[in-house]
Amino acid sequence: MSLESEIGRLLDMMPASGRMLTKIVSKPQQSKVIDTPFPMPWNRDNRPIYINFDLWRRLSQSQRDLLILRSVSILTGIKWFKPDVYQGIALAGLAGVAVELIQGDAVGMIVAGGLTAIAANQIWRSNRSVQRELDADEAAIKVALRRGYTEVEAAQSLLSAIEAVAELEGRPSLNFTELIRCQNLRAIAKISPVSVPETVKNSDL
């Protein structure tokens, strides 16, 4: 498997939004098989997907396919700038800080700054929740359906990929989020009748 041909194949697997917003970067020095750093608001384009191709090539093609689709889904699903109540509060707070700064009102600046911080924290939490992780898995499976996989095949491939990645990275066990994701994927793949409880889905990471 040559690096150039594999990157080209992975780009072909991606939806158009993934090709526009993400960038595959070879990073042989990293211990992770694939890594997607959380993008900051000012980094809206070319969100990197770092891959250690020495480890990557040890996975099956279906596992690689679902991992790249999942990584694209998680990155493209993070939207700092979209109309909702918390983003409205954050923008209003920033505007308030600017006005109070001009007027020299220290108390007003503190209040406006506090509103901005609270709203920004809510936006951050909504992008880093268990539900977001499960949504990214399911979004990857939906794209895989358009690439010739069945839902069961895609879920099984992603499930086995999560377990294989942990082994390649030398981790003795899966973390909490991975365990929840695996249970959700087992339910999708019809391996287990037990789905993830709503209370767990709605919890923060």
Pick the closest to residue 68 from 120, 125, 8, 130 (CA basis): 8
What is the rounded distance in angstroms from the CA atom of residue 204 to the CA atom of residue 132? 10
In the chain, which stretches have pLDDT less than 70? 41-45, 79-128, 202-205
Q: Where are the domains of the chain?
A: 3-79+128-201, 85-126
Q: Is 35 exposed, middle or buried (0-12, 13-18, 19+ CB in 10 A)?
A: middle
Q: To 5 degrees, how large is the angle CA 49–CA 173–CA 189?
A: 70
Beta partners for 103? Answer: none
DSSP 197: P
Q: Which residue has the tokens 């997907």?
A: 49
Question: Which tokens belong to 127?
Answer: 């992008």
Are the CB atoms for 90 and 118 separated by under 8 Å? no
What does the pLDDT read at residue 85?
46
